[in-house]
Amino acid sequence: MALIGKRWTRFKPREHPMGERIAKRVLIVGWGGGDWNVCEPLLEQGLMPNLQRLVKAGATGVMSSVAPLLPPVAWTSVATGKRPFKHGVHGLFEADEDIGGVRPVSSESRTTTAVWNILTQARFKTHVIGWPGAHPAEAIAGVNVTDQHMVSRVDYGKPWPQPDRSVHPSNLRKSVASIRLHPGEIDRDVLSFFVPAFESVTLVERERLKACTKWLAASITNHAIATWAMEHRPWDFMALCYPSIEHLSHHYLQFVPPRNKSVSEREFELFHNVVPACYQFHDMMLGRLLQLAGRGTAVILMSPYGCKSDAGRAARPQDVSEDVESRCRPRGLIVMRGEHIQPGSTVERCSVLDVTPTVLALFGLPAGSDMDGRPLHQMVGSARAADNIESWDLVNGVCGSHTPRNEDSRRRLQTIITQLAAMGYRDPQEEALAAEQDRTVKRNKFNLARSLMEGGRVAQAIEILNELKDSPRPFPPALAMLIEAYLAAGANDAAHAVVERLRDIGGNAIVELSLGRIAIGRGDLQAAVKHLCSAKKFSPNDARVWQFLGRTYLLLGKGVDARRAFEHAVALDPDNDDARDSLQRFNTRAD
């Protein structure tokens, strides 16, 4: 972790005056993949009564995410209030320098303190259940059960061992093991709520049902552990995540009405209710959480990203970064209830980065100046806030975070492996592992550059992207992002040089789009239209092409064409802020 070698200070309330404590307790409920596009029709039909009551009593809004749209990255930003280039998690996997190949990212990948570490330092009773990317469990001041604990990887009836280091404190392992629900234990009544005609499914169709039972069982397990902790352990802070909305959306959102042409009538009839039923089931669990939380508890229900209803409709999801991102949209949901909330109000410009600063403010604790978010004013009102401290990473005290990996031991092990390889002792799979590791390292460096770009650190992003550009094996996404970075820096000539490099390895659409943008920067609007129209032929569904085409038409004084292009861009990608803002500005000028 990055804490080694830093200057430590002890957090002293007298030196850092506390703010006003607003909430007796704080409950965070995470619905991964939760999306207003699915929620709102169900609310209108009265099918989510507990969420409806929470909405009526609280404030609602759309939560914006961070790049890349990957669960451990986004949820770690929620837990730290920091962008990925500060918290150190950049993908689904990371290079395993110890044994080669790759491994899933973990809580040991994180390079900064999470909100539960801060609350532990401040001596608040803190429970965390099923948080993505937070395995192995940290020794916080409460119950910590990781997302690896609830997923079954064995057939029903066979021994189901608990993953190592998935439960803290360790003396609760037997208790929480007895609470786990195996997918094979889900009874017919529950399953029929999701798939009413499940009794008639064929063996092939039964395979598709496995995703439903797997992730439903995981969410039920998390819910059971969380409610047990709320009832039997003292708590000030509870953070709980449910995985099934996201995973069932990836698997079954393709079947929701209206029926897509790629979906057979039989599949549509069987599975069209899975996703709506999943939301309704979560509403039932939400009701129990709110009952246990009681009055005086501030509640934040949230998802850091939504799920696209039209992404990969005919394909089953794959556990790779590109596929996961293609199915997510950078707009989640948030509903908040608290003492200062104006019932029925709207949360404006809310980000995943704002959750941790808001939680700290609710407990009267200062945020770190190195956090990228800010307390949401709807939740904290006019209460006296604590002055920021430099960073919670510099505060000494027991916080439950993991001991950093021993880099010296790692280097010694790598030296031994290298020496053995030189002597001819080489694993036949070593080359495949090395190639997989190389792809993962490049992908994570690329994601780091994306985060730096999003955070306005263009020069640092350019440095990383140039490193990827000059690597032996080309990485086309990095070249496209490097063009973007140079254009953001106003370096049109440098961008043009990278365009030529990209042209050599393919990518006609991005080449023409980039040439069009360079032409805009140089004031050659006719050339810009030519290149952008060419890009449109190669990639007619790229909203960015239409957005820049609209901007060019506007500069040429072609208002009708500009409006049409902006409208088409928004229709293709409603979550494209630039396209939507361009259309709004155009309409404002027209009025």
**What pLDDT is recorded for position 582?**
82
Rounded Cα–Cα distance for residues 169 and 241 (Å): 19
Question: For 240, which DSSP code?
Answer: E
Rounded Cα–Cα distance for residues 390 and 577 (Å): 32
Q: Is the pLDDT of residue 314 over 70?
A: no
> In CATH, what class is 9-396?
alpha beta
Higher pLDDT, 400 or 232: 232
- Taking a C-beta distance cutoff of 8 angstroms, is the pair 378, 57 a contact? no
pLDDT interval class at 576 (50, 70, 90): confident
- Taking a C-beta distance cutoff of 8 angstroms, is the pair 196, 169 a contact? no
186: left (phi over 0), alpha (psi -120 to 50) or beta: beta
Instruction: Provide the 3-class DSSP secondary structure of residue 324.
Output: helix
Site of tokens 């069209």: 272
Q: Is the pLDDT of residue 180 over 70?
A: yes
pLDDT tens for 3-61 read: 333 333 445 554 556 788 999 999 999 999 999 999 999 999 999 999 999 999 999 99
Rounded Cα–Cα distance for residues 446 and 448 (Å): 5
Higher pLDDT, 576 or 542: 542
Highest mean pLDDT among 5-9, 186-190, 218-222: 218-222
Determine which of 19-23, 112-116, 127-131, 271-275 has the lowest per-residue pLDDT on average: 19-23
Full DSSP string of 431-498:
HHHHHHHHHHHHHHHHHHHHHHHHTT-HHHHHHHHHHHHTSSS--HHHHHHHHHHHHHTT-HHHHHHH
Q: What integer is the mean pLDDT of 526-544?
A: 94
Task: Let me know if domain 436-590 sits in CATH 1.25.40.10.
Answer: yes
Q: What integer is the mean pLDDT of 103-123?
A: 95
**What pLDDT is recorded for position 14?**
47
Q: What integer is the mean pLDDT of 548-574?
A: 92
Q: What is the crossing angle of helices 543-555 and 508-522, to 10°?
A: 20
Q: How far apart, in Å, are the Cα atoms of 30 and each of 236, 283, 523? A: 17, 12, 47
Query: Hey, where are the domains in the chain?
Result: 9-396, 436-590
For residue 439, the Cα-to-chain-centroid distance in whole angstroms is 21
pLDDT tens for 453-506 read: 999 999 999 999 999 998 887 788 899 999 999 999 999 999 999 998 888 776
Q: Which two tokens stand for residue 257?
A: 């009405």
Rounded Cα–Cα distance for residues 128 and 166 (Å): 12
Q: Is the pLDDT of residue 416 over 50?
A: no
**What pLDDT is recorded for position 4?**
31
pLDDT tens for 322-350 read: 678 888 999 999 999 998 899 999 998 89
Q: Is the pLDDT of residue 2 over 50?
A: no
Higher pLDDT, 477 or 129: 129
Rounded Cα–Cα distance for residues 223 and 365 (Å): 28
Higher pLDDT, 374 or 506: 374
pLDDT interval class at 427 (50, 70, 90): low
pTM of the model: 0.90
Q: Is the pLDDT of residue 413 over 70?
A: no
Q: Share the mean pLDDT of the chain.
A: 88
Rounded Cα–Cα distance for residues 433 and 100 (Å): 6
Highest mean pLDDT among 263-267, 419-423, 446-450: 446-450
Highest mean pLDDT among 278-282, 418-422, 541-545, 581-585: 278-282
Q: Which two tokens stand for residue 92?
A: 């689904």
pLDDT tens for 279-295 read: 999 999 999 999 999 98
The candidate with the shortest Cα–Cα distance to 367, out of 355, 350, 379, 349, is: 355
**What pLDDT is recorded for position 322?**
65
Q: How far apart, in Å, are the Cα atoms of 193 and each of 182, 190, 307, 398, 441? A: 18, 5, 22, 46, 43
Determine which of 9-18, 184-193, 269-278, 564-573 has the lowest per-residue pLDDT on average: 9-18
Q: What integer is the mean pLDDT of 252-264?
A: 87
